[in-house]
Amino acid sequence: MMTRRAHISLRAICGSALVACTTLAACAMSTEPDVEAGPVSAPKSARFTVVEVLPFDDELVNIFLEGRGFLRKEHMDAFSECAAAGYAQSQGLGFARHLRTNLSNEGGIWRADAVYTISPALPVGQHVIDAETMVESCADRRIPTV
């Protein structure tokens, strides 16, 4: 009988500990700022430059960008998406999919080297961009496209 009580007590303690840890984790998560809360708008001080658009083939493009006056890397990520969406539209295509972006910031000058697939049909995968919708969103957020 002693073993069964010890087992029940241990189960109760573990259950209480799990509830406490879950509650604590939820509180900790809710106090952190949510950077991804909405689309990033460009600050008025932002200066965007599309340095080069290098198509590898009909479905793959490398975009080189520069920016000045940004507060966070999210501005360059947004600029990269806008440039890719604009390029896809200029080629008569409806979608882009982000593959990778290399970012650097030296002396307040951000540089991005981004690679996207572009296609007429919705591609499979994550980070898919509807070019028409994105281009409209970019205009609203003061972020240029190609």
pLDDT tens for each residue of 128-143: 999 999 999 999 999 9
Q: Does residue 14 carry a pLDDT above 90? A: no
Q: Label residue 142 left, alpha or beta by phi (over 0 means left) and psi (-120 to 50 means alpha).
A: left
Nearest of 58, 76, 59 to residue 67 by alpha carbon: 76
Is residue 36, in this structure, part of any structural domain at all?
Answer: no
Is residue 76, in this structure, part of any structural domain at all?
Answer: yes
Question: What is the number of domains present in the chain?
Answer: 1
Is residue 91, in this structure, part of any structural domain at all?
Answer: yes
Provide the β-strand partners of residue 53: 63
Here the CATH number for the domain that contains residue 99 is 3.30.70
Q: Does residue 11 carry a pLDDT above 70? A: no
Domain that holds residue 95: 47-140
Q: Cα separation of 19 and 74, whole Å?
A: 35
pLDDT on residue 71: 74
Say what the pTM is: 0.73
Tens digits of residue pLDDT in 31-54: 333 334 468 899 888 999 999 999
Mean pLDDT value of segment 58-73: 92
pLDDT on residue 25: 40
Any residues with CB less than 8 A from the CB of 88 and at least 6 apart, and which? 94, 95, 96, 116, 118, 119, 129, 131
Is residue 115, in this structure, part of any structural domain at all?
Answer: yes
Dmax (CA) of the chain: 78
Is residue 2, in this structure, part of any structural domain at all?
Answer: no
Is residue 73, in this structure, part of any structural domain at all?
Answer: yes
